[in-house]
Amino acid sequence: MNLPVNPPVLPMLANRVDELPPGEGWIFEPKWDGFRTLIFRDRDELFIQSRDEKPLERYFPELVTPLKTQLPERCVVDGEIVIARDGCLDFEALQLRLHPAASRVKLLAGQIPASVVFFDLLCEGDRDLCKTPFRERRAVLESLVGGRLTPPLHLTPATRDRAVAADWFSRFEGAGLDGVIAKVEHGTYEPNKRVMLKVKHERECDCVVAGFRWHKNGKGTALGSLLLGLFNDDGNLEHVGVCASFTAAKRRDLIAFLEPYRENALEGHPWRAWAEAPSDEETAVHRRPGSISRWSQGKDLSWEALRPELVVEVAYDHMQGGRFRHTAQFRRWRSDKRPRDCTFAQLEVVPPHELSQIFAAGR
């Protein structure tokens, strides 16, 4: 491979902010929830690189032919690999694709095929575009692929209109999107630097604390995360994720605070069966604490039970498949709330939105 920009290249990153930046000079895009990728094509050579510089083509073989067919012969594009099911992004289905068995990958490629959404261009032909302002990179990208791509390849929508971006922020969440990205229109491409801005959804929720994990560097002395649960309509406590974001001192203090709730914790515990016989990777891993999954190989997912008597208020961005998509953030203890009041009913319901309408906006 002999391109003006050759692999490996770390992608440009974003800092989180609370709201869309004011003023002129910004280009806004929807924030896709998938696997970040840089795709290098030099005629018949193709390399699909992950965010951490690993090859991805073996996990997404169905993308190879469309990329070779529809991309310019020599180019490097920045984008996101996503999977859509029932018109909505499905990150859990995307994670299932990282499987060591080629036969399993082939089966899943047929059952839940992936797509790629492009949003930047690093080079085309013999031109290195990394020092070119983003507004010009975007214009070249549009001239090369805008209106020409067919599924599973797409061009992300982009706008300079802050009101349109604010509308995307509200509506597109219903299709599983993360929020909105803001890019300086005169900005160059800066690998591994947080020069873009991302505005993500944040909400609050009261959860039952039913367990915890030790910190990887302080087992026995420091807390890593709290295991969270919500009661469903049948009165069962479902594992919905974890919360963290504690200082080193707080991690140590929490062990002493939680100690009384560890006594006889498994007696009548709603997750007792999972603690005594953890599920294997073929089961509903996202509903059970301590399960081994294909993307957590080598990690210590053991956990300690707590009597489910504590309630904590956490901040989260969005739910997917009945679980917090990302690690929730600790806000405060809610001693005034009963655990039984921590139900899925308190969650904000986001109206559905079809991905096809978003893709159409990028043409």
| Alpha carbons 345 and 342: distance in angstroms, whole number | 8
Q: What are phi and psi of 123, to 5 degrees?
A: -160, 160
| Alpha carbons 119 and 345: distance in angstroms, whole number | 36
Residue 327, Cβ density class (10 Å: 0-12 exposed, 13-18 middle, ≥19 buried): middle
| Residues identified as active-site | 31
| Alpha carbons 46 and 65: distance in angstroms, whole number | 10
CA 134 to chain centre: 24
| Alpha carbons 165 and 171: distance in angstroms, whole number | 10
C-alpha Rg value of the chain to the nearest Å: 22
Distances (CA, A) of 192 to 28, 31, 117, 195: 20, 18, 20, 9
